[in-house]
Structure 1
Amino acid sequence: MNDTDGMMRLLLVMLSCYVAGGTDRVSTTCTEEACLTLHLEERRFDNASEDCIKNGGKLVTMRNENELQSIKSALLAAEEFSILSSKLWIGLSLQRGHCTGSSELHGFRWTTEPADSRYSNWKRKPFSTCTEKRCVSISLEDDLKWSDGSCRDSSFYMCKFLFKGMCKPVVLENPRDVKYRVPFLSKPLDPNERLAMLPQGTVAEIQCGGSEDAENVLSVCDNKNGLFGWTNSESFCARNKTCNNGGCEHVCFETAEGGVRCDCHEGYYLMDDKVSCALRNNCENSPCESKCVPTATGFLCACAEGFYLAEDGVSCVDINECQQLKPICGENRCHNTPGSYFCECNPGFRFVAGKCEDVDECTELRCQQGCLNSQGSFYCYCHAGYSPALNDTDICVDIDECISRPCEDICVNTLGSFKCSCRENLILAKNGISCVPDPAEKPQNSPSSDHGEAFITKLNQFPVTFGPTTVYPTPVAKTDFSKRKESFLGSPWILLCVLGSVIPLTVVIVVMSVFVVYRWKRSRQAALKKSTADNYCWVSSGLDKEQKKNATFN
């Protein structure tokens, strides 16, 4: 074995050790731009993304219609796995702490750059949230429409691997004589899994003679002078074959030395592996204004999306979407741009995926407390216990409920509410507003100052009778004995206390009245005794008249 073969075998071993995470249920598809691997093992979104990154790729993206068709082709190629209704993660997610919006992606972002795109393919509007991480999945059953869900769910996933170049498969009479190891899988490709292209770094193990005991040749897909082809291609079993196509892709010629030589059809050229043929680049000096598509006999010009090919077959003309028969913007104003257009939406609306959609301002946290979205607008409201500020209705201020005196005794305002309390010897009732006596406190014999006013009022209303004369006491001016509220003085407990004080006082007044009447009668009887004549007759001596006369003259 020469040094080159030894190096190839060493490279093959290194690739086998480097790649990890392979699974038996993996379907691989490669195009001229990238390779896609479908992993039929259900995993959470983060685990699926890590597995793709670990093997050198990323979760698939769908930023345009071309990527959608590539994914659909890869899924249809794996039809033997019956995945029609299976969900498949794609690299589109909404991170925790970010809110769903009204753009094409509704706040979601791609896991690879560019993170944003104007293309969208939603099945329905995503769930509105700002606190939960949401991830996007697709399925063939939904025609690859996007559906968001919890990232903790488990689904199949597809990885995308980008390479600088691709090689066509090695051409032999029996394709099964070649085993391929691609950089992103730990096991060789199944012989029945034929790929149209193989990525840079793929190792091909070629069995010359169709037997495991025969000499094997290793080759690697690599860049050779600006073109990608197989290394060590001159040893592809050509010396052991007759010109039964001799392993050539197109035409085989026998040489005078007993070997074979390959050649290509018109419009193609022989690649460095000396067996493969590639289409000539007929677009090198093409006059196409936009795109050139090489063909076997020449080239064709094409235009980018939003343009059409002019009659000269070379130039491109902009498509004016605003002049279509059916208004593309509906009732909104349409503005044409080179290759595209945009709609000028009414206030409160935003241009999304070719139409004007309502902007949910409530997801943008414009209100301090409550928010109600409406078509083209929104409304802020305050929670119970708050009211809009006078100078800014979007701001809510606390209402001082104590101004309306809701409590029977003491009121303390709080944010959004209030709290009642009572003074000494009283406790708050079950209704949270009224005050009742504290059952733990001992009753007092003397009436409190709070009862003085009611007591004097009741006392002034009782007449005092002294004999035949009834005297009504002069009303006493109402004194402010307490700052307690009148509603509290009118409570049943206070009335009971007043009656308990007035009854004994009434008894005292009655007793005193009886005593006064009794003394009065005694005094009157004594006066009558003095004024009544006794049994003796008094005779005047005349001296009295003389004394009166002298007193008169004097």
Structure 2
Amino acid sequence: MAVARLLLLLALAVPGSGGEEAEVVCADSACYTLHRDELDWKGAQERCRHNGGNLASVGGPGEAARLRELLEAAGAHGPAWIGLWLQRGHCVQPQEPLRGFSWVAGGTPGNFSAWASEPSMTCTSARCASLRPPGPHGPAGWADRPCRLPLPAFLCKFSFQGMCGLLPLAGPGRVTYGTPFGVRSSRLAAAPFGTLAEVECEGGRSPAFALCKGSLDGGGFAWDPPGPLCPVACAHRNGGCQHRCLEAPGEPPRCSCHAGYSLAADMASCVPEDSCHPNPCQGTCRARPGGFECGCEAGYALAPDGRSCLDVDECLSGPCQHQCHNLPGSFRCACRPGYQRQPGGDSCLDVDECLRDPCPGPCRNLPGGYECLCPPGFLPEEEEEGGGRGCRAAAATAAGEEPAEVPDGPTGTPSIPPSIPPSTGAPWTARTPRSTGASGTTSIPRTPGMPAGVTPTGAEEGAAPPGPDEHSADGPRLLLYYILGSLVAILLLLAFALALVACRRRAAKKEKRPAKSAADNYCWVPEQPESRGQGGERR
């Protein structure tokens, strides 16, 4: 009676020992509860925290399956709050498994996610996640919504050091478990540390109590008193014992085991003393009534033979943003070339390759790579490793020669052919090595009248060329200069040809002489005056 009174006082001291009825499931070292109260996300979190827990977090497929089973067992058809939220001022990150959300209980985000639909893109408003059961609206999974919007249910999670099994009964009776988180249930398969069990035995006897606490030998957890409760004579169902039931005058019946067996934690069942020594399992071994049970560490699953452990391929669930490499008992996320891991997380961020100055001219960063923008007179080369492209001289390719590389500058870095500033109209000269290996110059035609050795801006050759960002604006202007220069050269050739023809015609005229006549062999003499009369004529 003294023990019963002490346990009754403990029951009154345990918070929530006379608490509400709620759907609850306990496994491993945690219990999950479903509460049917219409609250917003903050109100639901306060309720869970008041009882020593938080809104439920989901760290892997096992926990996700327990929560889905809890919803289905309760017949819930609507969504329920879980502990996943996006704080105001934080942005949704589509490349992350949790999409930028975090668990209210804290800890590492992890790689597991179960989004039924992508969350709304926002950086200004708080968003909270709910777990919805499967139905006509779609498959089961997470969905985001405003945190102030009430939901008809919420899920809590409570973590503990360990669990006790079912309280054994020697006779007929009913057990009600009062959990430390304020929920009473008679359907627990395991009770967390600190649970008080109240037993109503048939026959009108006073209730009996037992407390789940650490066992005396320091291993595991057990009921105190260990039971079986509701004692009856060994003649009734062997006193609830598996092997032997022992009676002593003035004492309740107690159980005992055959040779080679020992009492289990429920003080009624018997397990082989050497069932796990030596260990028959590849992983862990746990003694069970009549045998043993094998288990496996995280990342492994029990094989069909019940003893071996098989590696779980976590990559099948798609936990990584880019690439996933399965490892024994675990996995590793990796990024594609051109991306790098984010410090403190598994997200992949694009690398700006242009910071390494890989191009002879302007460089444009691309997702996962980069692109070299070739200056006028050069063509892009074949794509290199990393997504980059170099440049080769267009003139050398057209002439059938080997493409000449853009020459190196004085410091060993590729020099950029000078471009034309927007304020000038003169072309530039691109210098590239000849195909024979000797240094030479591939010149773009200059405008007639421009002195040699002077750059378009008026400075001497060898002056610093304009920046690479001007190349793209000089192309149309240089083309116009090429056309004008060609027209001037053609006009000069035509003028020279016309002058040559005129000169030759003039010379031909000078060489042509007029033909001579017969009169040219005679000379004319002047006439003599006649005499005035015949009489005066000399004889």
Is 2:233 aligned against 1:241? yes
Give the superposition deviation at 1:114: 1.9
Describe the SS at the equivalent of 1:250: coil
Structure number with bigger Rg: 1
User: In the alignment, which of 174, 182, 188 is matched to residue 177 of structure 1?
Assistant: 174
Gaps of at least 5 residues in structure 1 are: 362-373, 379-554
Instruction: Work out the CA distance in 2 between the residues paired with 1:182 and 1:329.
Output: 38
Instruction: Work out the CA distance in 2 between the residues paired with 1:286 and 1:270.
Output: 19
Is 2:268 aligned against 1:275? yes
Give the superposition deviation at 1:111: 1.4
Instruction: Work out the CA distance in 2 between the residues paired with 1:133 and 1:78.
Output: 29
Instruction: Work out the CA distance in 2 between the residues paired with 1:179 and 1:333.
Output: 50
Describe the SS at the equivalent of 1:253: strand
Q: What is the 5 A alignment of 1:54-65? A: 54-65=50-61
User: Is the alpha carbon distance of 1:264 and 1:114 closer, same or farther for their aligned partners in structure 2, counting shifts above 3 Å?
Assistant: farther
Give the superposition deviation at 1:46: 0.9
2:132 is aligned to: 139
1:166 is aligned to: 163
Describe the SS at the equivalent of 2:161: coil
User: In the alignment, which of 148, 160, 167 is matched to residue 144 of structure 2?
Assistant: 148
Q: What is the 5 A alignment of 1:70-219? A: 70-79=66-75, 83-84=76-77, 86-101=78-93, 102-141=95-134, 142-155=138-151, 156-172=153-169, 176-185=173-182, 188-189=184-185, 193-211=186-204, 214-219=205-210
Give the superposition deviation at 1:98: 1.1
1:436 is aligned to: none
Instruction: Work out the CA distance in 1 between the residues paired with 2:114 and 2:260.
Output: 40
Give the superposition deviation at 1:43: 1.0
1:340 is aligned to: 331
Conserved 8 A contact 2:170-2:229:
no
Give the superposition deviation at 1:104: 1.0
Conserved 8 A contact 1:91-1:110:
yes
2:520 is aligned to: none
1:305 is aligned to: 299
The alignment's C-alpha RMSD in Å is 4.5
Instruction: Work out the CA distance in 2 between the residues paired with 1:5 and 1:315.
Output: 45
2:12 is aligned to: 13
Give the superposition deviation at 1:6: 2.4
2:468 is aligned to: none
2:446 is aligned to: none
User: Is the alpha carbon distance of 1:104 and 1:292 closer, same or farther for their aligned partners in structure 2, counting shifts above 3 Å?
Assistant: farther
Instruction: Work out the CA distance in 2 between the residues paired with 1:218 and 1:44.
Output: 38
* Deviation readout 1:132-180 (Å, 9 max, x if unpaired): 1111111112443111111111121111112222222323366643333
Describe the SS at the equivalent of 2:141: coil
User: Is the alpha carbon distance of 1:202 and 1:342 closer, same or farther for their aligned partners in structure 2, counting shifts above 3 Å?
Assistant: closer
Give the superposition deviation at 1:109: 0.7
* Deviation readout 1:306-331 (Å, 9 max, x if unpaired): 899899x868779797xx9xx9999x
Gaps of at least 5 residues in structure 2 are: 353-365, 371-539
Instruction: Work out the CA distance in 2 between the residues paired with 1:310 and 1:13.
Output: 47
* Deviation readout 1:66-97 (Å, 9 max, x if unpaired): 10111122222213xxx12x011111111111
User: Is the alpha carbon distance of 1:196 and 1:317 closer, same or farther for their aligned partners in structure 2, counting shifts above 3 Å?
Assistant: closer
Conserved 8 A contact 1:45-1:135:
yes
Q: What is the 5 A alignment of 1:339-488? A: 339-345=330-336, 347=338
Letter in 2 for 1:217: A
Structure 1 length as normaliser, TM-score? 0.52
User: In the alignment, which of 226, 229, 240 is matched to residue 222 of structure 2?
Assistant: 229
Is 2:254 aligned against 1:261? yes
Instruction: Work out the CA distance in 1 between the residues paired with 2:175 and 2:39.
Output: 33
Give the superposition deviation at 1:38: 0.6
Letter in 2 for 1:98: H
1:52 is aligned to: 48
Describe the SS at the equivalent of 1:53: helix
Instruction: Work out the CA distance in 2 between the residues paired with 1:319 and 1:97.
Output: 36
Instruction: Work out the CA distance in 2 between the residues paired with 1:307 and 1:246.
Output: 38
1:548 is aligned to: none
* Deviation readout 1:253-290 (Å, 9 max, x if unpaired): 25364853324699974246633567878556538665
Give the superposition deviation at 1:299: 5.5
User: Is the alpha carbon distance of 1:281 and 1:13 closer, same or farther for their aligned partners in structure 2, counting shifts above 3 Å?
Assistant: farther
Instruction: Work out the CA distance in 1 between the residues paired with 2:302 and 2:210.
Output: 44
Instruction: Work out the CA distance in 1 between the residues paired with 2:146 and 2:303.
Output: 45
Instruction: Tell me which protein shows more helix as a share of its residues.
Output: 1
1:68 is aligned to: 64
2:488 is aligned to: none
* Deviation readout 1:488-528 (Å, 9 max, x if unpaired): xxxxxxxxxxxxxxxxxxxxxxxxxxxxxxxxxxxxxxxxx
User: Is the alpha carbon distance of 1:320 and 1:70 closer, same or farther for their aligned partners in structure 2, counting shifts above 3 Å?
Assistant: closer
| Seq. identity, % | 30
User: Is the alpha carbon distance of 1:298 and 1:151 closer, same or farther for their aligned partners in structure 2, counting shifts above 3 Å?
Assistant: same
Structure 2 length as normaliser, TM-score? 0.53
Instruction: Work out the CA distance in 1 between the residues paired with 2:17 and 2:125.
Output: 31
2:414 is aligned to: none
User: Is the alpha carbon distance of 1:294 and 1:247 closer, same or farther for their aligned partners in structure 2, counting shifts above 3 Å?
Assistant: closer
Conserved 8 A contact 1:204-1:220:
yes
Conserved 8 A contact 1:246-1:260:
no
Instruction: Work out the CA distance in 1 between the residues paired with 2:259 and 2:27.
Output: 24
Conserved 8 A contact 2:338-2:367:
no
Describe the SS at the equivalent of 2:210: strand
Conserved 8 A contact 2:239-2:253:
no
Instruction: Work out the CA distance in 1 between the residues paired with 2:324 and 2:209.
Output: 61
User: Is the alpha carbon distance of 1:310 and 1:31 closer, same or farther for their aligned partners in structure 2, counting shifts above 3 Å?
Assistant: closer
Conserved 8 A contact 1:90-1:136:
yes
User: Is the alpha carbon distance of 1:341 and 1:197 closer, same or farther for their aligned partners in structure 2, counting shifts above 3 Å?
Assistant: closer
Describe the SS at the equivalent of 1:43: coil
